[in-house]
Amino acid sequence: MPCEEPAAEGEVSEVAEMGEEKEDGQPEEQEERWARLLPELLSEVVRRVEASGGERWPARKDVVSCACVCRRWREAAVAVVRPPAVSGKITFPSSLKQPGPKEFPMQCFIKRNKKNSTFYLYLGLTTATVDKGKFLMAARRFRRGPHTEYIISLDADDLSQGSNAYMGKLRSDFWGTNFKVYDSKPPHDGAKASSSRSSRRFGSRRISPQVSAGNYEVGQLSYKYNLLKSRGPRRMYCALEFPSTQESWENSLKTKSRKPMGTKVLRNKAPRWHEHLQCWCLNFHGRVTVASVKNFQLAAATDPNDPSSSRDEGTVLLQFGKVDDDIFTMDYRQPLSAFQAFAISLSSFGTKLACE
């Protein structure tokens, strides 16, 4: 959630002195003038901004500007703006960890910079893969002993675990076949942060001190051994914790009443062998144009204890694929969030020593 920057130390005393000199309290009145609007009028203002054609960015920045006025405006904006699962829009940073729509995928793309091992996630503003898009998150790959970590941040220029913009990370083993996904915020009450040395955050400057910061494991990914080596497709297995659509949005800016989340298992869809083309093929519906071992589609695995899971077995919840040398599309839908989809997609980069 965007928030106002605190005043510098040298400015605090000056503001206090000005407040003391004004006996009628004019400075306070000026600050609270907008906050004193009637709740009905305030909600109507935000509702009209929301409905004023702000379907895409940059027009949608007006909604964020309303939320930055003060606390009451922020609460009104959250009450009016619907979560991504309902609106299909990503407005606030908290939206990045909310489930996407169910009926249609959120279309994004990833740009890779090989020189500094950095990956940038953008929301596609059009169906074309050449548009600039809206920047969402960035990640950088670091080698830490036998492990590889991808640090995910809201700030492309500050990719460190001690940053305010730190979102979480993806951590792999030496072979690059087993991964763990960590969230910077506790997913539910009672969640315990990872105690590993690399997961500790020193010198963290948190915007909200009420929310504990750390690394909380929220999922695991694995690539299975491929008997055909590089001639065959990769086999993926994911087990991730997913928040409730309604509960996650209501508590996106709160720190209490967070219930444990359910776990869902995802597997990659098996490609078919095309005799004429002599290659493995998947139908990406035009969103992937370059053949690559990194390309994949994930769908929900059938749960014997849940009869309704068989209906979602064929629905692609996440697809990732190459369209240029360093550009990849990433389309996701409920129950995945943008953060989870980005973490899974990052696992596809790099060599899998035991699989290729």
pTM here? 0.78
- The pLDDT of residue 187: 77
Can you tell me the distance from the alpha carbon of 321 to that of 331, in angstroms, rounded to the nearest whole number? 9
Q: Given 58, 81, 104, which residue is the final one in a domain?
A: 81
**pLDDT value for 33:** 73
Q: What is the CATH number of the domain that holds 228?
A: 3.20.90.10
Query: What is the distance in angstroms between the CA of the first residue and the CA of the last residue of the chain?
Result: 42
Residue 257 sits in the same domain as residue 126: yes
Residue at 312 is within a domain: yes
User: Domain check: are 111 and 237 in the same one?
Assistant: yes
Residue 88 placed within a domain: no
Regarding whether 169 and 43 lie in a shared domain, the answer is: no
Same domain, 51 and 143: no
Residues 243 and 340 in one domain: yes
pLDDT at residue number 333? 93
pLDDT at 299 (0 to 100) = 92
Whether residue 114 sits in one domain with residue 73: no
β strands within the chain, DSSP E: 106-113, 118-123, 134-144, 147-153, 166-172, 178-183, 216-224, 235-242, 262-268, 272-274, 279-281, 296-300, 316-324, 327-332
Handedness of CA 80, 81, 82, 87 (dihedral sign): positive
Provide block-wise average pLDDT over 10 residues at a time, the chain (356 residues): 39 35 46 74 83 66 84 83 85 88 92 94 71 86 89 92 91 89 83 62 42 77 70 80 58 53 85 76 86 89 61 81 92 94 92 59
Is residue 23 included in any domain, yes or no? no
102 and 64 within one domain: no
Domain around 110: 96-189+213-347
Q: Which residues of 262-287 are buried (b: 16+ CB within 10 A; e: fewer)?
A: eebebbbbebeeeeeeeebebebeeb
User: Is residue 16 domain-resident?
Assistant: no
- 71 and 117 fall within a common domain: no
344 CB burial (10 A radius; 0-12, 13-18, 19+): buried
What's the domain count of the chain?
A: 2
Contact 123, 105 (CB under 8 A): no
pLDDT for position 338: 94
- Asked if the structure places residue 338 within a domain, the reply is yes
Question: What's the pLDDT score for residue 74?
Answer: 83
Q: Do 316 and 256 sit in the same domain of this protein?
A: yes
